[in-house]
Amino acid sequence: MALVKPVEWWSGWADILGIIAVVLGGTWALVTLVGWAFSWKAGKLKDAALTRYQVEASQSIAEANKAASIANQQAAAAKLELALLQTKMTPRRLTKEQQGRLASGVQSFAPQVASIWYGAGDKESENFSWDIASALDVLAGGCFLLQARRRWLKAESPSGRYLAFRPAWS
């Protein structure tokens, strides 16, 4: 039996390469299985975080909507109060008819310089002063306000602000 060699299962190169292939394949399968498990767990954690974020966002949106509703109610109340104040101030403004009567009443003084005083920081008296200036503008044939805006003098005084208007005819 000299021609027969003892053959053991690990003895050939083909056998060694086969064993390496089986070990690598098993390792690859194990790594793939572990990777899939981690991926599945990460997906579950992501879904839980997304659900938690959506709940928090819904609560934040509800709070913001409530705050906006309160702000809108306050704005509506402020608009109503402003409308009431403007309604109270309406008689304190000169109408076009009153401006016309004022202009016709001072027409005999046309060559005079017109001066208007109003309280510093008092918007109502400033608006009333400009109403009077508008009436004088009607008297001057539409050129008074243009000249007044060009030549007006702003001088501070303890009692208020002095506007001196020099009409176009002077």
pLDDT digit string, tens, across residues 109-122: 766 666 677 777 77
End-of-domain residue from the set 61, 92, 123: 92
pLDDT tens-digit readout, 119-168:
777 777 777 777 787 777 666 655 455 444 444 444 444 444 444 444 44
Does 42 fall in a domain? yes
Tell me if 5 is assigned to some domain. Answer: no
Residues 163 and 118: their CA atoms lie apart, in Å, by 8
**Predicted TM-score (pTM) above 0.85:** no
End-to-end C-alpha distance for the chain, whole angstroms: 147
**Could you identify the residue written with the tokens 């000169």?**
94
Between CA 9 and CA 3 the distance in angstroms is: 18
Q: For residue 166, what are its two tokens?
A: 């020099």
Domain boundary among the residues 46, 64, 92 is at: 92
Strands lying side by side in the sheet with 114-118: 114-118, 160-165, 153-157
Residue 146, domain extent? 94-165
Q: List helix spans (H) across the chain.
A: 13-89, 96-105, 123-139, 144-151
Cα(122)–Cα(9) distance, integer angstroms = 110
Boundary of a domain, candidates 62, 92, 122? 92
